Chain A
Amino acid sequence: MATFSKVVSVGRDVLDGAAADAGDFRRRMQGRGILVMHLISSPGAGKTSLLEATARHFAGGARMAVLVGDIATTRDAQRLAPWAPVAQLTTGGACHLELPLVERGLAQLEPLDVEFLFIEDVGNLVCPASHNLGQHRRVIVLSTTEGDDKPGKYPKAFRTSEALVINKLDLLPHVPFSVEAAVEDARRIQPALEVFPLSAKTDEGIAAWCNYLTHERARLLGDIGCTTT
C-alpha cells in the first residue's frame, strides 16, 4: 500500500445541513398555519415580559405557544405557563439554541393548534445570531437600560434580524438612551428593520407589535382569517 494526498474543493457553508433542516421545519410549521418567531436579546432585556404582554393582548384571540431557552431553571416557563402552552429548553450551559432542541421542546407540546410559535433564545447577542431555528422572522429585543450604542457592537445579531423591539420605554426618563440614536445605529446595519418601541410593563406600544405579528402571519402564510384583537 502507498499513500498520496488529494485536495478536494468544497466551498460549502458548514451550517448548510442545519439550514436545510431549518427550512424543512419552517415549511412544516407553515403547513400548519404556524408563524415561527425567534426572539433574541441580551439577558434581562425583557423577552419573557414581552411574551407575557403579547399573550395578555392576544388573550381570547390569537393562539400562541412558547419554547423558552435558558441555561438553567424553569423560571421563564413558569411565568408564561398561565398564558400559553410553554416548554422550557434548558441547554445545560450551551450559549444558544439549535433546531434539535426546538424540535424536542415542540414534541412535548404536541398536539398543538396555535397561530404563533415563539422561540425565546438564551439571553446572548452573539451565538444565537448564527443559528437558524426555522423561524419566519427573527426579532431582536433591546432595552433602554442597555444603552443606545449596542447595535454597532453586535452587527451580526442586528443584520440577521427582521424586527427590532425597543423595550422598557417606561424607564426612558431615568436612563441616558435615545430611541432615535439606537434606531439609526441599528438601521445602518439592517436598513429593513421594522422597529417597535414599547414597554412590556405598561403595555405602551404592545398593540402595534401585536398588529405586526398578525399582519406578518397573514402576509407570509397567506391566511387573512386569523384572529385579531
Chain B
Amino acid sequence: MHERSLVKALIAQVANLASAQRASRAIEVRVRVGPLSGVEPLLLSGAFEDLAKAALFDGARLTVVEVPLRAHCRKCSAVFNVNNFHFCCDVCGSPDIDTIDGDAVILESVEFALAVNEEPAYGDLL
C-alpha cells in the first residue's frame, strides 16, 4: 500500500501552494488518476483523510477524478484511449506511443480559504 507515500507528496505540494497563497486552509483538493496511476482511489481517499489531519488540511475534501488511459502516437500523431492495456495506436497500429494521461497522480487544483483584511486596499482610497 503506497498510497500513503503518494499522499505525503501531494500534501507537501498543497502546503507549498498554501503558503504561496497565504491561505488559512484548504477546502478541496482535486486529483486526477487513471488506470496506470498505480493507485486505488478509495485507498487514496483513506490515506488523505488520515494524513490531512496531521497537516493544516483537517477537514479538507479530496476529490478524485478518474480518467481513461490516453496515449499519443509518435508515428501518426493520433490521440486515443488505451483499452485493456494494449499499448498500440488505435489508428495506425504502431507500438511507438506515449501515454499522456491516466498514468500518474496529477494534482489538478486546490480550493483555498483565504483570510483577508477588511480594511480597504490602498488603491480603493484613491
Which residues of chain A have a CB within 8 Å of any CB of chain B?
Answer: 1-18, 94-96, 98, 126-127, 129-131, 152, 155-156, 159, 188-192
CA gap between A153 and B115 in the complex, in Å: 48
Bin the interface of chain B by size: 35 or more
B109-A9 in contact (CB<8A): yes
A3-B114 in contact (CB<8A): yes
A10-B112 in contact (CB<8A): no
CA gap between A94 and B106 in the complex, in Å: 23
With beta carbons under 8 angstroms apart, the residue of A8, A15, A188 that contacts B109 is A8
Minimum Cβ distance to chain A for residue B22 (Å) = 10
Q: Are A3 and B24 CB-contacts (below 8 A) given A9-B109, A10-B13, A98-B5?
A: yes
Q: Are A189 and B85 CB-contacts (below 8 A) given A10-B109, A11-B107, A13-B104?
A: yes
5 intermolecular pairs with C-beta atoms under 8 Å apart: A3-B114, A5-B111, A18-B9, A130-B38, A191-B87
B114-A4 in contact (CB<8A): yes
Interface residues of chain B: helix, strand, loop or mixed (majority): mixed
CA gap between A182 and B117 in the complex, in Å: 64
CA gap between A202 and B106 in the complex, in Å: 45
Minimum Cβ distance to chain B for residue A193 (Å) = 11
Q: Are A130 and B6 CB-contacts (below 8 A) given A15-B104, A159-B87, A189-B87?
A: yes
With beta carbons under 8 angstroms apart, the residue of B1, B38, B104, B116 that contacts A4 is B116
CA gap between A75 and B34 in the complex, in Å: 37
A188-B111 in contact (CB<8A): no
Contacts of B24 in A (CB 8 A): 3
With beta carbons under 8 angstroms apart, the residue of A2, A9, A12, A94 that contacts B118 is A2
B118-A17 in contact (CB<8A): no
With beta carbons under 8 angstroms apart, the residue of B38, B108, B113 that contacts A11 is B108
With beta carbons under 8 angstroms apart, the residue of A17, A18, A190 that contacts B87 is A190
Contacts of B27 in A (CB 8 A): 5
B12-A17 in contact (CB<8A): yes
B36-A159 in contact (CB<8A): yes
CA gap between A29 and B112 in the complex, in Å: 40
Contacts of A16 in B (CB 8 A): 13
Q: Are A3 and B115 CB-contacts (below 8 A) given A9-B109, A12-B107, A127-B38?
A: yes
B113-A14 in contact (CB<8A): no
CA gap between A16 and B107 in the complex, in Å: 10
B10-A14 in contact (CB<8A): yes
Contacts of A155 in B (CB 8 A): 35-36, 85
- Counting CB contacts under 8 A, is B52 at the interface? no
* B:48-75 near A, CB below 8 Å: none
B2-A127 in contact (CB<8A): yes
Contacts of B13 in A (CB 8 A): 10, 12, 14, 16-17
A5-B36 in contact (CB<8A): no
Q: Are A5 and B107 CB-contacts (below 8 A) given A127-B2, A129-B38, A188-B86?
A: no
B105-A14 in contact (CB<8A): yes
CA gap between A17 and B113 in the complex, in Å: 25
Q: Are A1 and B118 CB-contacts (below 8 A) given A14-B10, A14-B31?
A: yes
